[in-house]
Structure 1
Amino acid sequence: MLTLVHLVVSLGMLVIVPLGLSLVKIDGGTTVRRWWPVAAVPGVISLWLGRGPLSITLASIYLVGTLVLALLAANDLISRKRLRAREIALYTALATPAIAALALVAERSSYKLFGFSLTVLSLTVAHFHFAGFAAALVACLVVESTSAKTATAAAISVPLGTGIVLLGFFLGDPVELAGAVVLTAGMWLVGWTMWRRSRAAERSTKVLLILSAGTLMVTMLLALSWALGHVVATPYLPLRWMVATHGVANALGFALCGLLAWRRLKEWDEARRPA
């Protein structure tokens, strides 16, 4: 199972984060994206080494890179002096990789951070690259593309749900369930907006948007069943199968396809602008 988790995290570090950065405008974002492999490659290598001083050092390099992303968010907030739905989603996207990186450093150190097992810490690394960075960044792109109230609601509820899920790690399963409900609602609103956006897109972009939106409908049901099953006696998939279904589908079907679709949409919009 951990091999699959590491593959998913490697995709997040090497592809999802820089691809996402290329789709949003923020001071310093282009520079950070250009230098991102300097942090991401050591982070990926640390995943595949045994726990010890070398993997801790490499994971720490990645942590520094993610803290730079968080600094971009802080700098942008200070310069804008306002916090709208777009900024809430964008800043969440830029901050959550640092949570993932902190969990990675702890896991590589064999340190049970806040009492969590090493397996939970490994899953936290994956969770905050996708349910954190990718989900919030797509929500940011969604609210940039339309003034519809559903998009605004998505850009607020996705970060809110992510935050409540994080609190649930410390406060217990009922809080995590509440977070899963809010996050699911936000992600379904994201999917709805993407589906509507697909109707005016060219064929390959339409396929990517529909695949990304459709993936969310299934994977978030799995997330709800998992959270609910830990509060009341309802069936849910074992952890291994959650990684193989919910985790992999979100990484490939939602995050990768979704970001590729938005890149094509932005390229199309730029090509239509008058010279």
Structure 2
Amino acid sequence: MSLKTLDLVRWNIISIVLGGSIWVLLVLGAWFRWIILNELELLLLLALFVIMPLTVPLVSLPRQSRQFYQLSSLILFLQPFAALIGGVSFLLATGPLAAAFAAVWLLFTGLLTLLGLVRLFQARRTLPDICLAAALLYLPIGSTWMVLARLGLQPLGFGVHTDLLTAVHFHFIAMAALIITGLTGQVIPTTAYTLSRVTYRVAALGVLVNPILVAAGLTLAQVTQLHFLDTAPADLLALSLILIALLGLRFVVPMTNSLLTQVLLLFSYTAVFFTMLFAAAYALGVATGAWTITISQMILIHGLENALVFGFCGLLGWRLRARQDSKGGEKCA
């Protein structure tokens, strides 16, 4: 079997279905305590097994771009193997062997970085295109923290809990938030009101720079013990994604033909209001001490809803929308 003879569309669908099945089995295993996996590890495994194969086809350029097409084909082929090997690292005891398995996922995201660079130089370099390319460029940051977590290292005094939180954040900000932001911007018509276009630019830039601000904020907060430095980026992300959700509800959902796709995108955009307001409330509580929202509550409400409703439903909706546009003779997103 070679990449030339392999049906990559079918291969990708099989990867999504099998990945989803494996993830459900892991959730059940953790629920019945057959295996030891916490909520953060399950969220990260969702990114590896389900979110990633949903995402990669959404950042493709036309087949005429030969280098991009060949690299995209290789990534689609390798993705399930990289996810499986990276996922095994969570079933091993923390240490060098687990980190070695996780490093395979890090190498795979390195290929995605190359894909992002090719896309950045070959696309039109509009703000939506930059968001799609940046999503791929940011991924190795999340996978690096994943390797650190499986190795058991705690740089600058960060705990393993923080390692996993950072890995989850960078995976989902890249594969969900930035991808959906970029795709939403591609749908907003050039004839839209100036206010809508300006709102998109402001919100997209907020999502685009957020991973950098998160990294800087976490580091400075750990060194200076000024915890508002790591909560401010959460407030910016919340506001930016709420604006993107409003634009999506205004332009994307009404311009989508399939009822199922409309429902998926509606769920995704609507979920942002709850998850991001909750994140903002957590950040404000940490900064002011006025109230306390625990990390466990954040993972359950903010993390799980973001991953399954905003991320999974949103990306599945965009995949269905792109497929319907393709059948209708329109350019895929």
Aligned-pair identity (%): 30
Contact 1:191 1:216 in 2 (8 A): yes
2-structure distance, mates of 1:270, 1:105: 38
Instruction: Tell me how large the CA RMSD over aligned residues is.
Output: 2.0
Secondary structure of 1:206's partner? helix
Ranges of 4+ aligned residues in structure 1 off by more than 4 Å: none
Alignment of 1:178-257 (within 5 A): 178-196=232-250, 197-201=252-256, 202-257=258-313
SS of equivalent residue, structure 2 residue 58: coil
Does 2:110 align with 1:67? yes
Deviations 1:84-140 (A, max 9, x none): 312331232102221111111111111112331111001111111112331111111
Give the Cα separation in 2 of the matches to 1:24 and 1:67: 16
Please state how far the C-alpha of 1:8 moved relative to its aligned partner: 1.2
Which one has the largest radius of gyration? 2
Which consecutive unaligned segments of at least 5 residues does structure 2 have? 1-35, 62-67, 190-195, 222-226
Task: Show the 5 A alignment for 1:14-29.
Answer: 14-26=49-61, 27=68, 28-29=71-72
CA gap 1:57/1:167 in 2 versus in 1, 3 angstroms: same
CA contact (8 A) 1:88 1:156 kept: no
**2:32 is the alignment partner of 1:32:** no
> What's the CA shift string for 1:1-37, capped at 9, x where partnerless?
9622111111101111121111122412233122112
TM-score (structure 2 length as normaliser): 0.77
**1:241 is paired with a residue of what secondary structure?**
helix
TM-score w.r.t. the length of structure 1 is 0.92
Supply the distance in 1 between the matched residues of 2:253 and 2:58 (Cα, whole angstroms).
Answer: 18
Structure-1 residue corresponding to 2:42: 7
2:206 corresponds to 1:162 = no
Q: How many residues align?
A: 273
- Cα distance change, pair 8–91 in 1 and its aligned pair in 2 (3 A): same
* Aligned pair partner of 2:95 in 28, 32, 52: 52
The aligned amino acid for 2:117 is: A
Q: What amino acid does structure 2 have at the position aligned with 1:254?
A: F
Q: Give the structure 1 partner of residue 150 of structure 2.
A: 108
Aligned-partner Cα distance in 1 for 2:182–2:94: 36
Structure 1 portions without partners, runs of 5+? none
**Which moved further from structure 2: 67-76 or 16-25?**
67-76
Residue 178 of structure 2 is matched in structure 1 by 136
Q: Distance in 1 between matches of 2:248 and 2:235?
A: 20
Match of 1:122 among 153, 164, 168: 164
